[in-house]
């Protein structure tokens, strides 16, 4: 079942990506010769209109074959060839896959928010967790408590909470808490002047964000809004992660948290075991990841093709088709070798960990 879920997730992600190329190509008047499910050799194909829709032997992803993707091909319909289109049309066709992956991510996050509730800022500062052996634990503060007042001053935001505590270090402070059963609890606490790293003077983690459930008709719209923000958040996090990975590779370090197909399989299995919403959320994160990776200006990727279009536009002349073909082929070879090396690395880590679950723990640690 985990294997089936894994391949279904990959199929959906890549099918959505290729659907973006397909729609944009059709709109631009490019002849889409084939829209394939899986990787050839072909098992079954049916021609509808001027496009062959095929099911292929290797159940991994999807692809679209555009007429005249390079000038080296034999072009039967010059007006419907990709190479005959204007640069801006080519760019739209290429980035359409990335855009579709972002749209899929937004939809996934919107579904999750619609069911689990929408976050919003409130005037309640709530304790999320209490550190062991901290002043907060000694004062009897519990997760879920709302900090009502500090030294008689109403606490309305995390900023006001931090300001009051910073002014009261090593000084006893009167504290009023509101418990989940609407019971007010009065206690005293002495914030530490030199707390352990990451714990803060009181030893609590706090938030002013609360989860609420708006009317059903509002949830899809708010879900899309917060889904868009979530997609941007993960996009920036992935970009920063990639920059850090390249920095480590440049100085000869192998990033410990890098994972290939085996790692993705482990993460997919874990997400599916938790529940459908967790799996949907994971698909959203994965879709953003796929979009970012595809737009990297590396030969063989969508970003590499954009790079050549940009170079042709700047130089004002065509790059030899054979040259571009060789560069993309070399890029694909490098990517396949890298994927193989990461897979071997993953398998070794699975063997060292003794199981997929142990390997997963090493990734998430």
More confident position, 259 or 305? 305
Residue 28 is predicted with a pLDDT of 92
Whole-number Å distance between alpha carbons of 20 and 32: 12
State the average pLDDT for the chain.
Answer: 82
**Domain spans of the chain, in order of start:** 2-116+224-364, 119-212
Query: Does 25 score more than 90 pLDDT?
Result: yes
Query: What pLDDT digit, counting tens, does each position of 190-201 carry?
Result: 888 888 888 888
**Most confident segment among 81-85, 92-96, 121-125, 225-229:** 92-96
Q: Which helix (H) or strand (E) holds 116?
A: helix 87-116
Does 125 score more than 80 pLDDT?
Answer: yes
Q: Is the pLDDT of residue 72 over 60?
A: no
Q: What is the pLDDT of residue 168?
A: 84
Per-residue pLDDT band for 96 (boundaries 50, 70, 90) equals very high
Q: What is the pLDDT of residue 165?
A: 87
Spatial separation of the C-alpha atoms in residues 211 and 226, rounded to whole Å: 12
More confident residue, 313 or 104: 104
Q: Are strands 204-212 and 118-130 parallel, antiparallel or unpaired?
A: antiparallel
Rounded mean pLDDT, 142-163: 87
Summarize pLDDT for 40-71 with one digit per residue, the tens. Answer: 788 889 999 889 999 888 766 788 888 877 65
C-beta separation of 117 from 215 below 8 A: no
Per DSSP, 186 falls in state: E
Structure tokens given for 33: 């010769």
Architecture in CATH of 119-212: Roll (2.30)
Question: How high is the pLDDT of residue 94?
Answer: 92
**Contact residues for 358 (Cβ-Cβ < 8 A; gap 6+):** 350
Give pTM, 2 decimals.
Answer: 0.74
Helix (H) or strand (E) holding 337: helix 321-353
| Mean pLDDT of the 212-237 span | 80
Active site residue 194: no
The per-residue pLDDT for 93 is: 93
Burial-class residue 180 by CB neighbours within 10 Å (0-12, 13-18, 19+).
Answer: exposed
The token pair at 109 is 């996050």
Q: What is the mean pLDDT of residues 349-354?
A: 69
Point out the least confidently predicted range of 1-10, 45-54, 105-114.
1-10
153-181 per-position pLDDT tens digit? 888 888 888 888 888 888 888 999 998 87
Taken as a whole, the chain contains a residue count of 365
Of the candidates 18, 34, 69, 324, the residue annotated as catalytic is 18
């Amino acid at each position: 079942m985990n294997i089936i879920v894994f391949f279904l997730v990959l199929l959906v992600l890549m099918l959505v990506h290729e659907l973006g190329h397909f729609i944009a190509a059709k709109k631009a008047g490019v002849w889409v010769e084939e829209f394939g499910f899986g990787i050839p050799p072909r098992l079954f194909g049916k021609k509808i209109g001027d496009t062959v829709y095929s099911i292929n032997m290797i159940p991994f992803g999807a692809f679209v074959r555009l007429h005249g993707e390079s000038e080296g091909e034999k072009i039967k319909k010059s007006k419907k060839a990709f190479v005959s289109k204007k640069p801006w049309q080519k760019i739209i066709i290429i980035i359409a896959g990335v855009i579709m992956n972002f749209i899929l991510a937004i939809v996934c996050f919107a579904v999750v928010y619609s069911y689990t509730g929408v976050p919003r800022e409130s005037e309640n500062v709530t304790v999320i967790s209490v550190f062991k052996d901290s002043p907060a634990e000694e004062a009897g503060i519990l997760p879920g408590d709302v900090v009502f007042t500090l030294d008689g001053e109403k606490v309305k935001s995390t900023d006001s909470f931090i300001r009051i505590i910073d002014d009261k270090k090593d000084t006893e402070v009167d504290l009023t808490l509101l418990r989940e059963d609407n019971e007010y609890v009065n206690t005293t606490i002495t914030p530490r002047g030199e707390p352990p790293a990451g714990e803060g003077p009181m030893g609590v983690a706090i938030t002013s964000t609360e989860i609420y459930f708006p009317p059903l008709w509002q949830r899809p719209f708010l879900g899309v809004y917060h889904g868009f923000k979530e997609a941007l958040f993960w996009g920036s996090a992935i970009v920063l992660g990639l920059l850090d990975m390249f920095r480590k590779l440049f100085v000869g370090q192998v990033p410990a948290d890098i994972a290939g197909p085996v790692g993705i399989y482990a993460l997919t299995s874990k997400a599916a075991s938790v529940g459908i919403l967790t799996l949907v959320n994971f698909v959203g994160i994965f879709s953003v990841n796929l979009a970012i990776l595809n737009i990297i200006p590396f030969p063989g990727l969508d970003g590499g093709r954009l790079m050549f279009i940009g170079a042709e536009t700047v130089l004002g002349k065509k790059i030899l088709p054979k040259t571009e073909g060789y560069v993309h082929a070399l890029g694909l070879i490098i990517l396949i070798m890298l994927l193989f090396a990461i897979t071997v690395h993953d398998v070794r880590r699975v063997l060292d960990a003794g199981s997929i679950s142990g390997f997963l723990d090493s990734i998430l640690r």
